[in-house]
């Protein structure tokens, strides 16, 4: 297998909420649709012994000639209330499209024996590919494992997510492993140091401004591809909502706004560079 390579992979979009890619585990490879998540470090898929996961692709270790069991267990809870737990195994993981693939031998991954209702309900993925930092019971994240083995070209990956609206399974972007995405990234790249690499891609957010509201308090923030939400402190969200002129519903704990509202750009300042998010209506 060639070393120090760059791999491109297409991503499928489900209503701009879940972005899913295909991987293979074992020999021969068993297919799994996984959610790309920079907010967690662990790769896991449903195990054949997860009876309530029968609607998903499940990993059958007895069908892989390269599988090795471990004595380690795991239990992961996510910010939206979803949860899964199980055992760790070691096998070959293959990432990528067509002949352009990243082959990762001796990769530790989770085999989910249990998933709660929140994890099961309405999901369009089998498991999760953690692109973050940290180890759980000695399980090295897949990309860090690839770097340690000298398989990928550079210690970098690029995620490009497209907005496709209410479509399921539509082509929705791409991810590159081992090199920058020169097709969708501009010629000038702004590098900014992380303030913590314990679990997340965490950095300092200098300020935020929206219309007449500005706050220069500075906070710690994370970049998380595993969620479609922008989350912030309650007092700041309330100020943003007031500036936008939105209506709050106590019954749903949600703010609502007319689609034809003319909203200003929401600006985040990171490392002295302003990144603007414009409003858009989805029907």
Please name which of 164, 146, 163 lies closest in space to residue 155, comparing C-alpha atoms.
146
Candidate list 47, 91, 126, 224, residue with the active-site label:
224
Spatial separation of the C-alpha atoms in residues 166 and 164, rounded to whole Å: 7
- Residue 262 appears among annotated catalytic residues: no
Please name which of 12, 7, 8 lies closest in space to residue 173, comparing C-alpha atoms.
12
List of E strands, the chain: 7-14, 18-25, 30-37, 43-46, 68-77, 83-97, 100-115, 127-130, 157-161, 168-177, 202-205, 207-210, 213-215, 219-222, 247-249, 254-256, 266-270, 273-277
- Residue 224 appears among annotated catalytic residues: yes
Spatial separation of the C-alpha atoms in residues 71 and 78, rounded to whole Å: 24
Candidate list 37, 47, 91, 126, residue with the active-site label:
37
- Provide the CA 162 distance to its chain's centre, in angstroms: 14
Q: Residue 231: count other Cβ atoms within 10 Å of its Cβ.
A: 10
User: Which positions are catalytic?
Assistant: 37, 224
């Amino acid at each position: 297998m060639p070393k120090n390579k760059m791999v491109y992979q297409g991503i499928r979009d489900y209503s701009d909420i879940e972005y899913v890619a295909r991987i293979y585990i074992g020999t021969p490879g068993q297919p799994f649709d996984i959610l790309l998540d920079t907010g967690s470090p662990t790769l896991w898929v449903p195990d054949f012994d997860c009876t309530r996961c029968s609607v998903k692709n499940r990993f059958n270790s007895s069908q892989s000639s390269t599988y090795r069991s471990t004595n380690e267990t795991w239990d992961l809870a996510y910010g939206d209330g979803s949860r899964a737990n199980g055992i760790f195994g070691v096998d070959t993981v293959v990432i990528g499209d067509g002949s352009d693939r990243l082959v990762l031998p001796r990769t530790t991954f989770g085999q989910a024996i249990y998933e709660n209702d929140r994890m099961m309900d309405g999901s369009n993925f089998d498991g999760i590919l953690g692109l973050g930092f940290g180890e759980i019971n000695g399980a090295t994240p897949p990309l860090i494992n690839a770097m340690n083995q000298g398989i990928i070209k550079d210690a970098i990956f690029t995620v490009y997510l497209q907005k496709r609206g209410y479509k399921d399974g539509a082509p929705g972007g791409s991810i590159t492993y081992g090199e920058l995405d020169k097709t969708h990234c501009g010629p000038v790249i702004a590098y900014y140091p992380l303030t913590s690499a314990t679990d997340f891609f965490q950095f300092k957010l200098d300020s935020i401004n929206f219309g007449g509201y500005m706050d220069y308090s500075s906070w710690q923030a994370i970049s998380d591809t595993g969620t479609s939400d922008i989350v912030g402190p309650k007092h700041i969200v309330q100020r943003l909502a007031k500036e936008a002129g939105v209506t709050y519903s106590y019954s749903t704990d949600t703010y609502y706004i007319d689609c034809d509202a003319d909203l200003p750009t929401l600006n985040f300042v990171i490392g002295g560079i302003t990144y603007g998010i414009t409003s858009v209506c989805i029907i």
